[in-house]
């Protein structure tokens, strides 16, 4: 059971921005910091901008930043926006061919478990994730400013 890479990278980008709130960041520097592909990140950043989590400033010296305070963005909210597939099993998705769906109680049980998973993630904000920004920036081998 895994989140998509898109979700994983989305959270990493938001943590990066939350750890350095006073400046604009570029896709290039984030890709370099995490040692991941710029192409992947472009799609991630597009999704985050569309979801209203980040805003971008064009032109020379431009880049991206969080669109609002880090303590107002929960992990749960971000995943609901960017995770493409929360169908834990076939019958929770769009392409259900299981013959017992109508009589099956497993579907409901898995929905309850997923709700418990998301309820936990709704308790945590980006600010909680970067409450020690220096440690995070050290790990990324970048300066705080």
Shortest distance in whole angstroms from residue 59 CB to a second copy: 29
Is residue 128 close enough to count as binding a second copy by CB under 8 A? yes
Positive or negative: CA dihedral 132, 137, 143, 145? negative
Q: Give, in order, the Cα–Cα distances in Å from 17 to each of 2, 29, 36, 90, 93.
A: 24, 11, 16, 36, 33
| Phi, psi for residue 131 in degrees, rounded to 5 | -70, -15
Kindly state the DSSP code that residue 25 receives in the 8-state scheme.
B
Shortest distance in whole angstroms from residue 51 CB to a second copy: 18
Element (H, E) at 55: strand 54-57
With CA atoms as reference, report the closest residue to 27 among 10, 12, 45: 45
Which CB atom, from 60 or from 105, has the smaller least distance to a second copy? 105
11, 31, 45, 64: which one binds a second copy (CB under 8 A): 11
Tokens, residue 17: 């921005």
Is residue 29 close enough to count as binding a second copy by CB under 8 A? no
Is residue 42 close enough to count as binding a second copy by CB under 8 A? no
Shortest distance in whole angstroms from residue 22 CB to a second copy: 19
Is residue 112 close enough to count as binding a second copy by CB under 8 A? yes
Shortest distance in whole angstroms from residue 58 CB to a second copy: 28
Shortest distance in whole angstroms from residue 99 CB to a second copy: 6
How long is the chain?
A: 145
Where along the sequence are the contacts to a second copy (CB under 8 A)? Answer: 1-4, 7-8, 11-12, 15, 33-35, 75, 83, 85-90, 97-106, 109-110, 112-121, 124, 128-132, 135-136, 138-141
């Amino acid at each position: 059971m895994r989140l998509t890479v898109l979700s994983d990278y989305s959270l990493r980008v938001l943590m990066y921005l939350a750890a350095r709130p006073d400046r604009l960041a570029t896709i290039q520097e984030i890709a370099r910091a995490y040692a991941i592909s710029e192409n992947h990140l472009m799609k991630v950043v597009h999704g985050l901008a569309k979801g209203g989590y980040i805003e971008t400033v064009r032109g020379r010296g431009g880049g991206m930043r969080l669109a609002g305070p880090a303590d107002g963005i929960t992990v749960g909210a971000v995943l609901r926006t960017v995770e493409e597939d929360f169908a834990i099993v076939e019958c929770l998705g769009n392409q259900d061919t299981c013959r017992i769906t109508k009589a099956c109680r497993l579907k409901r049980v898995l929905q309850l478990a997923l709700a418990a998973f998301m309820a936990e993630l709704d308790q945590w904000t980006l600010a909680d994730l970067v409450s020690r920004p220096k440690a995070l920036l050290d790990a990324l081998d970048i300066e705080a400013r």
